[in-house]
Amino acid sequence: MFKVIFKPSNIEIKVQKDENLLSVAREAHIAIDAPCNGNMSCGKCKVRILKGKVDTKKSVHISKEEEKKGYVLACATKVIEDIIVEIPDTSSLYKNDMKIEDFSGLKGKMAFDRAKKSLVNNGLKLNLYVKKAYIELDIPTLDDNIADTDRLTRQIRQMLGFQKVEISLNLISKLPLLLRESNFRITIAYMIKSNDTISLMNIEKGNTTDKLYTVAVDIGTTSVATCLINLLTGDVIAEASSANAQIQYGADVINRIIYATKKDGLKALNKAIIDDTLNPLLNKMYKSANISKDDVYFISVAGNTTMIHLLLKIYPDYLRQEPYIPVFSNMPIMQASSLNLCINELGGVYTFPSVASYVGGDITAGVLSAGIWNSQENILFIDLGTNGEIVFGNKEFMMTCACSAGPAFEGGGISCGMRASKGAIERVKIDKYEPKINIIDSNKPVGICGSGIIDLIAEMMFAGIIDRRGKIVQDIETNRVRFDEHGIGEYVLAFKDEYGIENDICINEIDIDNFIRAKGAIYSGIYTLIESVGFDLSCIDKVYIAGGIGNSLNIENSIAIGMLPDLAKDKFKYIGNSSLSGSCLGVISKSARDKVEEIANQMTYVELSVYPSYMDEFVSACFLPHTNIDRFPNIKLLLS
């Protein structure tokens, strides 16, 4: 057994010889960014060996200079003696607080406001899952000596008119002492099951009808956003968000699914989302709003199909294997205690229904709140998160597909790519080969995030630094362009001396190629989906862009690189975190929950991987902006 000490946390762990350093870090609950889940392709799990020797493979992601300093890829390294390992800032997910407000697109309050607007605009009804009532019971006597539960039921019948009252064993066991300690004056929290039946969720001493709360949650592959709503005032009284702690097990759903198939992997992923992400967020909100978890009776969760499988600890591997079968699409409302979620243990947990393995509850929630199902106009809805999902339709029909864009928009597969956190270059302008950059919350750039890459590629194209295949043009008069011994070109966005950083921040032809394939997946997805119902792009009345990437996204540049179709700019609308808005609707409206079930059933899923013309479309779209420039008449004008 050898000892591994991680700096700066000083966490120690004993390991066997030849154990993989990335696995060791996970075992020690050290979060290391590893979007590719340890296959050496992303180069994100760079760590520095401060003391001791390791057995490590060479990687293109480690420069000679870095190698000298002791940097290795954790995933390519075996432990062969006692070592001390430093987790650098760029690799540590939790070191930098994520810039959540910008990243998740919308604060909870905005999401809830949009939900309320959607409720009214689309004729949905406000109807809460749980209600409360204050009840004074008759004191038992020898002449009126019916059982406690019968006495309670009798009073409920008289006061509220419900004939049947369901009471769980847990509540019954609280009842005898509670009734006597409160002198038979109590408050019940209840759920209406049918016209004549209610189910009790809680029984409390005295009058507590002034306390009734609910939580809406959006679980993204990358980040999780929550908001706490006071149901009596209709206000958001707290909100919180953080990275999804599952990130340490892989950046995208595919790598997480693979991890879930390993021994105890599913358990670890479930723990990461519940114990390490959701419950801390919930408790943070309860503390800030000064309320008790027992007064929270409902939680609504929107998330993609994989996220919801992992939340419910359901084996997800068949989502990934052809023919891509989810275990479930639609769950009934579950009891919080069965998931270990930190709300009232009898509270309800609602998860949005999914359409298919790669079109999940985040999308149905988004479609619900965006009102596409109630629209006369043809709406194109694009959710740009870790992957890209697309919906096209109106009140008559809705088509949907998932694009395998991968994590490129979050920096995955890009050598200097990173998420939209502190130090990320989020905007780029290039004037005469010289870049101007906007950095998130810092003067020193660390890497470049999705919106920055879109700007960068568009600007490089317009500046003539790259051609329409994304290749760096030779013989440009600038020191920012250079080629390595294999002839692979790169463009330096930030020299290390300019900013006093350790390495130049560059984008190379491999990065550009990766990104072009990601944007090509989105565009060809849009095109194929619309074509599949016999429409063309000109039929689109509105484009709603939702999701994590959205906020700092430059629409013109997105069109310019051929990610979005070349439509009039006023057709595009950024609608923020529509998944969270939908989730908010879920907590205030049973009719919204009923509606989204209908929506999920109505949506027709198109499996792009087997759609006949998709592959050709995708190949044509892997060009700037497109092989057929006539699809982008405005960009054609700009480029000519």
* Shortest spacing between CB 332 and its own copies, in angstroms: 7
Region near its own copies per CB under 8 A, out of 139-147, 410-418, 534-542, 547-555: 139-147
What six digits make up the tokens of 61? 């992601």
* Shortest spacing between CB 612 and its own copies, in angstroms: 13
Characterize the bridge pairing of strands 235-243 and 223-230: antiparallel
Nearer to its own copies, 242 or 306 (CB): 306
Nearer to its own copies, 175 or 439 (CB): 175
- Asked if 332 touches its own copies (CB under 8 A), the answer is yes
* Shortest spacing between CB 154 and its own copies, in angstroms: 12
**Using CB atoms within 10 A of its CB, is residue 468 exposed (0-12), middle (13-18) or buried (19+)?**
middle
List the one residue from 10, 145, 195, 290 that touches its own copies (CB under 8 A).
145
- Asked if 531 touches its own copies (CB under 8 A), the answer is no
Query: For residues 317 and 365, what is the distance between their CA atoms, to the nearest angstrom?
Result: 24
Region near its own copies per CB under 8 A, out of 144-152, 276-284, 399-407, 546-554: 144-152
Region near its own copies per CB under 8 A, out of 114-122, 349-357, 580-588, 615-623: 349-357
Question: Dihedral of the CA atoms 47, 53, 54, 58 (nearest 10)?
Answer: 70
What six digits make up the tokens of 218? 């959006």
Subset of residues 161 to 200 that bind its own copies, contact rule: CB under 8 A: 166, 169, 172-173, 175-177, 180
Asked whether 106 and 576 are in contact (CB, 8 A), the reply is yes
Subset of residues 261 to 320 that bind its own copies, contact rule: CB under 8 A: 312-315, 317-318
Please state, as a whole number, how many other Cβ atoms lie within 10 Å of the Cβ of residue 304: 29
| CA dihedral for 319, 323, 328, 329, sign (positive or negative) | positive
Nearer to its own copies, 172 or 192 (CB): 172
List the one residue from 10, 64, 264, 322 that touches its own copies (CB under 8 A).
322
Asked whether 442 and 418 are in contact (CB, 8 A), the reply is no
Region near its own copies per CB under 8 A, out of 99-107, 287-295, 352-360, 525-533: 352-360
Nearer to its own copies, 175 or 251 (CB): 175
DSSP, residue by residue, 111-140: HHHHHHHHHHHTT---B-S-EEEEEEPPPP
Characterize the bridge pairing of strands 447-448 and 424-431: parallel
Contacts 24+ apart (CB under 8 A), 374-378: 374/121, 374/122, 374/123, 377/541, 377/542, 378/535, 378/539, 378/540, 378/541, 378/542
Q: How many residues bind its own copies (CB under 8 A)?
A: 43
Q: Report DSSP state, residue 264.
A: T
List the one residue from 146, 159, 488, 539 that touches its own copies (CB under 8 A).
146
Binding mask 96-135 for its own copies (x = CB under 8 A): ----------------------------------------
What six digits make up the tokens of 608? 């792009």
Subset of residues 605 to 634 that bind its own copies, contact rule: CB under 8 A: 607, 610
Identify the H or E element spanning 66.
helix 64-69
Nearer to its own copies, 365 or 505 (CB): 365
Q: Which chain residues interact with its own copies by CB under 8 A? A: 140-142, 144-150, 166, 169, 172-173, 175-177, 180, 312-315, 317-318, 322-332, 334, 338-339, 354, 356-357, 607, 610
